[in-house]
Amino acid sequence: MRVAVIADAHGNAPALAAVLAEIGEEEVDAIVDCGDVAAGPSPAETLRLLAAVALPVHAIMGNADRELLDAHPELATRAVTVVLDIAGLGPTRFCHGTPRSDEEIVTRATPADRLAPILARVVESVVVGGHTHMQLDRRHGRHRIVNPGSVGMPYEVAPGAYWAILGPDVELRRTRYDGDLVPSPPSPDEVVVEFEARAVATPYARLGGHPFFERLVLRFYGGVAGDEILRPLYPGADLGPAEDRLRGFLEQYWGGPTTYSDERGHPRLRMRHATFPIDEQARDRWLQHMRRALDEEHLADDLDDMLWDYLIGAADALVNRRETVRT
Ligand code: HEM
């Protein structure tokens, strides 16, 4: 199939109307909207325009759409990611930011070591996302990464609404419309630098990103598996799902992808631990296994202290069976 891809319309109804009119003249089978359609000056009007399209529309939830769910509950039907078989490109995964997070940023300057974990579990060879408001068509290993740019709020040099056609190749497009303006600073170059700096400044990035948390939690659960006090507390025969949840939570807490809350909602850890009897002995064992897992990372002192202080406080806050002291 051949599709038109739009993203980040951000409530800019005139821009979306102009792009939809141009799509109407193209031979495409469907439209994929990679999200953040409504947040902006005219949310209701943009949603009306998209709802009136005769073609099938595959709509994806953006981070700004998530924030708008109360005001526009119709956004709730949007998917996290969509896979379509595109002529000439093959199975292609569409998302808002990256397949694992609607807030994660990929630009033309994203280094290979940050891209590798983002793409590690993506079986499709083409990934299409928005979120940065900048068009992109680059390769990394066996993957091709495409961003159609932003319909309503582009960070580009030339005025207009940005979008793309996929199939049989990638065609990055720009449509002029009444009222479009030469974008004011920051320039795309400045935005790229700022985005990349932000992406590496989080504690998540300083700790080593996804591979760090993966190793830490894997080692930690290795310890739990052989612990006669902790192991019986874990409901499943397989500790794998618990491992995924703890890793996802920690990654999110330290500024990484928000996959945990996307899948599980608000963490509410005290409530989620209420059914497991956690006394001080269980807390100390939990911390012991975590300390051992952390020791093997040989982190810089400031990073180790930061993480360890947090873990001690969090574990203590989850104790829900305290000995009552009799006097
Ligand atoms: C104090 C000792 C602790 C014990 C004995 C304990 C035990 C457990 C158990 C039995 C589960 C259910 C396993 C599962 O997900 O299937 C669980 C889940 C979880 N624990 Fe702990 N835990 C402790 C401390 C902590 C701490 C300090 C954190 C975070 C820093 C944490 C984060 C989580 C998370 C994110 C989940 C999954 C919650 C969900 O989404 O359902 N735990 N824990």
Query: For the segment 69-116, what is each residue's pLDDT rounded down to a tens digit?
Result: 999 999 999 999 999 999 999 999 999 999 988 888 999 999 987 888
pLDDT given at position 325: 56
Owning domain of residue 224: 203-317
29 with 89, same domain: the answer is yes
- The count of C-alpha atoms lying within 13 angstroms of the C-alpha of 271, restricted to the half-sphere facing its C-beta, is 4
Check if 273 has its Cβ closer than 6 Å to any atom of ligand 1. Answer: yes
- Nearest residue (CA) to ligand 1, atom 26: 315
C-alpha 10: how far from its chain's center? 18
158 with 207, same domain: the answer is no
Total domain count, the chain = 2
pLDDT given at position 322: 83
Give the torsion through C-alpha atoms of 15, 18, 24, 27, to 10 deg: -70
Residue 311 sits in a domain whose CATH number is: 1.10.490.10
pLDDT given at position 67: 87
pLDDT given at position 324: 62
161 with 271, same domain: the answer is no
11 located within any domain: yes
Give, for 107, the enclosing helix (H) or strand (E).
none
45 located within any domain: yes
170 - beta bridge partners?
166
Residue 32 sits in a domain whose CATH number is: 3.60.21.10
191 located within any domain: no
pLDDT given at position 319: 96
CB of 185 within 8 A of CB of 193? no
DSSP secondary structure letter of residue 155 = -
242 with 174, same domain: the answer is no
325 located within any domain: no
Number of CB atoms found within 10 A of residue 58's CB: 18
pLDDT given at position 326: 54
pLDDT given at position 103: 84
95 located within any domain: yes
Check if 244 has its Cβ closer than 6 Å to any atom of ligand 1. Answer: no
Check if 249 has its Cβ closer than 6 Å to any atom of ligand 1. Answer: yes
Residue 14 backbone dihedrals phi, psi, to 5 degrees: -60, -40
pLDDT given at position 262: 87
Which mutation among 273, 278, 312 tests ligand 1's pocket best, with the greatest number of atoms within 8 A of CB?
273
Q: What's at 222, amino acid-wise? A: G
In 3-state terms, what secondary structure has residue 195?
A: helix
- Nearest residue (CA) to ligand 1, atom 32: 246
The residue ranges of the chain whose pLDDT is under 50 are none
C-alpha 105: how far from its chain's center? 8
